[in-house]
Amino acid sequence: MATFIPKVATLTSRIIRVLGCNPGPMTLQGTNTYIIGTGKERILLDTGNPDVPEYIATLKDVLLERGISLQQIIVTHWHLDHVGGVDEILRQIQPGCKVKKYAFHGDKAEHSFQYLKDGEWIRTEGASLKVIATPGHTQDHIVLYLDEENALFSGDCILGEGSAVFEDFHSYMDSLSTILAVKPSVIYPGHGPVISNPEPKIREYIEHRLQREKQIIECLSNTSAEHMSAMDIVKEVYKGTPEHLHAAAARNVEHHLEKLIKDGKSRLPQKRSDAGVGGVQRFRFRYSGLGGVAYTVRYGGTMSYKNRSTFATLPRTQRGMPLVLGGDPKGKNFLYTNGNSVIIRDIANPSLCDIYTEHSQMTTVAKYSPSGFYIASADQTGKIRIWDTVQKEHILKNEFQPFVGIVKDVSWSPDSQRIMVVGEGRERFGHVFMAETGTSVGEIGGHSKQINSCDFRPTRPFRIITGSEDNTVGIYEGPPFKYKLTISDHTRFVQSVRYSPNGELFASGGFDGKMFLYNASTYEKVGEFGSPAHSGGIYAVSWSPDNTKILTASGDKTCKIWDASTLSVVTEFVMGSDVMDQQVSCLWQGDYLLSVSLSGFINYLDINNPEKPLRVIKVRASYLQCCKWTHLRYVGNIFWRVLATLQVV
């Protein structure tokens, strides 16, 4: 049983611990945040998750009761359960407070951080803290050495209970050795109770990891299987580990393998195009007999390759089916799905792209979290993968299956903690769950047919809207989310429902060509756009960032911009006359207006010249049937799907 940790504890004359009030499988009792120093101005180390009112209230009470203000905030690393509370603290407790962290090349923070250096000293009254870079758990991870007490604040490098996860095992092991050399008398961890006898704990961590490495090598050496995935290894090596932690364990296994490569004990080719079941990469392997594992991939012979460049394919489209475009909170990227992949493209320079290929089934929709740190992507079987956007490896955070069936749409709550998925579930058409644990926070009832679209209200109080093939819009209040109301203004399928960015209004568009506007607080109808808005079905609606206009995409081969105050059309874009010119999706992302044609072409719409798009992204996809490297004397016949040459017109 986990050790009880009170919400507030005075640990020494210069350390107050305030629990982050965010318990979970990965956060244990919650994130430990620390107020450090003895004066009126002190340092806050780490800030917990975003949108946790209980933590903000507790922290505020502690500061007021003791007459303390914050001199500065330091975060040990970029993970949301450590950096997430910064915004609320700056807004509600200490406006203008300096926020500091260690820098790394993938920083995507919303805050204006001041960056720390390895070996730098930070001083406040009663406390001198030395910054020690300890990469491994994350690239930017640091620990802080408190000189006055020979104590160490370990962040997530060492936990009070259990073992840590990591991104780079080689660096992580080096960091454990670094901490061991410090010889602290006490460790204050990022999660779990205080470690009063650190040296045995640190050595236990090192030995535990070396033992895992040995078990992994033995597993690979003794198996008769032709190939194994990281999850296959987890099921052998982590037999006593609860299943909800298997995804994290699989990441650790992959990092163990990467360490073996760096140590020269094994060699590993680049990723294959045919990822294994569950999206975890599979390798064919043989035991080298030299104390390590040599992985080989055979395509009529052993070969390896290095990716030089990536070319993105177009969205997968199907007649009569809407496509969901997603955008990141900063307005820099947009994303969509095709095949088993999620394609992320730079909106200003769409030739720049990234492709996530870890799904084992056809992907259907993907959405950024409001924090921008994660993407939730779904497939045709109902699986949801939540993965990191900061690291180039797109590390898997969690995988859940809220229902069995095709997922049509995904929406995050504004605090990035809850996810709603809807679609053609066999047992239910919609479900809301916690992104961290998968815990249910609402069953979506009230619809008699599949749900095509959903959206979280972007402001409190939390609300959810849905659009269904039973021709209705559903309203849900929570958490936990429960059915509130049905709106029956449409006469055909409701294909898209979206809240305005300020959460005051929402719009619904349907295959009857109609679009309605509603008050998000009272649910009363404000009015109808046009009569109807389009002569064909509406596939998508998207709000302008300033809440004043709505972009629609229709099967009548047009896109339109509507004034949300007058309910009248402002601009009409006629996209062509061919059936492939039907418009199946749209996105208003910052200054950019995008639509997608049934052909898959991505159109950049020009408000100033509706007759001609600013840009059209086209790509011709085909199959690679033969490849040849004469200098290697290799000729192949592989049948890979090619992401062919990008054409920007």
What pLDDT is stored for residue 632 in this prediction? 36
Tokens of 552: 């629609």
At residue 391 the predicted structure's pLDDT band, cuts being 50, 70 and 90, is: confident
**Does pLDDT of 644 surpass 80?**
no
104: which residues sit within 8 A by CB, 6+ positions away?
A: 78, 138, 139, 140
Q: Are residues 107 and 123 in the same domain?
A: yes
Strand segments (E) across 296-351: 326-327, 333-338, 341-346
Q: Are residues 232 and 321 in the same domain?
A: no
Q: Computed from CA positions of residues 37, 40, 41, 45, in that sequence, does the dihedral angle turn out positive or negative?
A: positive
**Does pLDDT of 564 surpass 60?**
yes
What pLDDT is stored for residue 278 in this prediction? 35
203: which residues sit within 8 A by CB, 6+ positions away?
A: 180
What pLDDT is stored for residue 165 in this prediction? 80
Q: What is the number of domains present in the chain?
A: 4
Q: Are residues 262 and 379 in the same domain?
A: no
What pLDDT is stored for residue 262 in this prediction? 57
Asked whether residue 621 is assigned to any structural domain, the reply reads no
What pLDDT is stored for residue 375 in this prediction? 97
Contact 456, 413 (CB under 8 A): yes
**Does pLDDT of 629 surpass 50?**
no
What pLDDT is stored for residue 167 in this prediction? 78
Identify the helix (H) or strand (E) that includes residue 620.
none
Percent with pLDDT over 90 in the chain? 64
**Does pLDDT of 105 surpass 60?**
no
Could you say which of 488, 505, 529 is where a domain stops? Answer: 488
What pLDDT is stored for residue 173 in this prediction? 86
Identify the helix (H) or strand (E) that includes residue 205.
helix 198-222
Could you say which of 164, 196, 228 is where a domain stops? Answer: 196
Mean residue pLDDT of the chain comes to 85
Q: Which of 146-160, 378-392, 402-416, 448-462 has the lowest mean pLDDT?
A: 378-392
Query: Hunting for tokens 């069953």 — which residue is that?
Result: 443
Q: Are residues 138 and 68 in the same domain?
A: yes
**Does pLDDT of 500 surpass 90?**
yes
Asked whether residue 440 is assigned to any structural domain, the reply reads yes
In 3-state terms, what secondary structure has residue 210? Answer: helix
Q: Which residue has the higher pLDDT, 42 or 1?
A: 42
Q: Are residues 477 and 500 in the same domain?
A: no
Q: Are residues 342 and 236 in the same domain?
A: no
Asked whether residue 620 is assigned to any structural domain, the reply reads no
Question: What's the average model confidence in pLDDT over 71-84?
Answer: 94
Distance CA 448, CA 468 (A): 8
**Does pLDDT of 274 surpass 50?**
no
Contact 508, 501 (CB under 8 A): no
**Does pLDDT of 464 surpass 60?**
yes
Distance CA 83, CA 606 (A): 39
Distance CA 552, CA 539 (A): 8
Q: Using one digit for the tens of pLDDT, what is the confidence trace for 287-314?
A: 332 233 333 323 233 334 445 556 788 9
Q: Are residues 509 and 534 in the same domain?
A: yes
CATH number of 586's domain: 2.130.10.10
Asked whether residue 638 is assigned to any structural domain, the reply reads no
What pLDDT is stored for residue 1 in this prediction? 55
What pLDDT is stored for residue 504 in this prediction? 98
Asked whether residue 214 is assigned to any structural domain, the reply reads no
Contact 547, 505 (CB under 8 A): yes
Q: Which of 25-39, 160-174, 253-267, 593-607 has the lowest mean pLDDT?
A: 253-267
Could you say which of 196, 212, 240 is where a domain stops? Answer: 196
Asked whether residue 386 is assigned to any structural domain, the reply reads yes
**Does pLDDT of 317 surpass 80?**
yes
Torsion on CA atoms 603, 606, 610, 611, rounded to nearest 10 = -60
Q: Are residues 50 and 154 in the same domain?
A: yes
| Cα separation values, 85 from 42, 116, 144, 270, Å | 17, 19, 20, 38
Q: Are residues 183 and 42 in the same domain?
A: yes
Q: Which residue has the higher pLDDT, 237 or 544?
A: 544
Question: What's the average model confidence in pLDDT over 523-550?
Answer: 97
Distance CA 323, CA 335 (A): 11
Percent with pLDDT over 70 in the chain? 85
Q: Are residues 510 and 468 in the same domain?
A: no
**Does pLDDT of 271 surpass 90?**
no
Domain residues for the domain of 282 are: 220-295
Query: Comparing C-alpha atoms, which of 323, 305, 213, 308 is closest to residue 257?
Result: 213
Q: Which of 39-43, 256-260, 284-288 has the lowest mean pLDDT?
A: 284-288
250: which residues sit within 8 A by CB, 6+ positions away?
A: 229, 230, 231, 233, 234, 280, 396
Asked whether residue 209 is assigned to any structural domain, the reply reads no
Q: Are residues 434 and 285 in the same domain?
A: no
Q: Are residues 378 and 332 in the same domain?
A: no
**Does pLDDT of 633 surpass 50?**
no
Asked whether residue 635 is assigned to any structural domain, the reply reads no
| Cα separation values, 522 from 285, 455, 484, 490, 542, Å | 61, 17, 12, 19, 21
Q: Which of 115-129, 255-269, 604-618 has the lowest mean pLDDT?
A: 255-269
What pLDDT is stored for residue 168 in this prediction? 79
What pLDDT is stored for residue 26 in this prediction? 78
At residue 640 the predicted structure's pLDDT band, cuts being 50, 70 and 90, is: very low
Distance CA 245, CA 25 (A): 8
Omega prior to 480 cis, within 30 of 0: yes
Residue 358, sorted as left (phi over 0), alpha (psi -120 to 50) or beta, turns out to be: alpha
CATH number of 83's domain: 3.60.15.10
Give the sheet arrangement for strand 127-133, strand by strand.
121-124, 127-133, 142-146, 151-155, 186-189
Q: How many CB atoms are located within 10 Å of the residue 114 CB?
A: 12
Q: Using one digit for the tens of pLDDT, what is the confidence trace for 332-351?
A: 999 999 988 999 999 999 98
Tokens of 299: 């395509």
